[in-house]
Amino acid sequence: MIFITFASDMNRTLNKNRRKQIGFLLQHERQYQYLEQGFFAQKMNVRQESISRIEAGKRRIDILELIEYAEALGLSITEIAWKIETYLSALRLLPLPKMNVLNKKIRVEVSWCENGFSASVTDFMPGTFVFTSDTFAELQIEVEEGIDSHIKGMAANGDKVPWWLAKKKYEFEYKFHDGKSLLNAYSSYVTFAAISRVSGINQNLLSQYAKGQKNASSTQLKRIAEAIQIIGKELTAVVP
């Protein structure tokens, strides 16, 4: 009886930790798409309190709710399940994923720090990796070399390395937390006039965001990012 009670306590603790981390991941995915919690609750046709409790890890989410959550995020159930499995395995709350999923994207979160760029990576491992650089181009190199060095270190220490990491079957995906970092990252390639034309945001306001004189809202950041993507697609469509 003592053993059964102990095992039961262990399972409860494990499930509590899993629930907490799944909630954190779902919250992160929602925020990544600049979706406010209230708006997201309306999108799912549930009370905001329900979303808040799930993301805080205070209640379980069943498979049907998870499907609805994924659909509201524009993800398939396979994608959201794989994200959860990868994240929990990095925290040693699940075994390593057995599926070899190609084109995994490592999310890099970028912000402006004093007079340069700062980036953090928490996507596939416990803890946080932080990188800083004067330019966005240099920051990208710092991130790529830093992650590659960490993966080699994992292997050298005898740690289990997921297949997609060992074989470098991944890409980097950059998310900007403020207008200053986003606009300064691409100012060498895209003019404020072009961004203003596509996004519909006043050029003077874009300049204020870039200088840090005003803070761009999550909605504005999304519009700016989408405008830069559209301009990038237009440029890559040019045939020499």
pLDDT digits (tens, 9 = 90+) for 211-237: 999 999 888 998 999 999 999 888 888
In the predicted structure, residue 65 carries a pLDDT above the cut 50: yes
Mean pLDDT rounded to a whole number for the chain: 85
Q: pTM of this prediction?
A: 0.63
- pLDDT tens for 70-85 read 999 988 888 888 888 8
The string of DSSP codes covering 59-113 is S---HHHHHHHHHHTT--HHHHHHHHHHHHHHTTSSPPP-S--SSEEEEEEEEEE
Q: How many CB atoms lie within 10 A of CB 128?
A: 9
- Give 2-90's CATH code, choosing from 1.20.1250.20, 1.10.260.40, 1.10.1060.10, 3.40.50.20: 1.10.260.40
Q: Give pLDDT tens digits for 122-180.
A: 766 655 788 999 999 999 999 999 988 888 888 888 877 777 777 787 888 898 989 99
In the chain, where are the structural domains located? 2-90, 104-236
Crossing angle of the two packed helices 2-32 and 77-90, in degrees rounded to 10: 120
Please answer whether residues 107 and 121 qualify as being in contact, where contact means their C-beta atoms are separated by less than 8 angstroms. Answer: yes
Model pLDDT, residue 2: 44
pLDDT at 3: 46
Cα(19)–Cα(93) distance, integer angstroms: 10
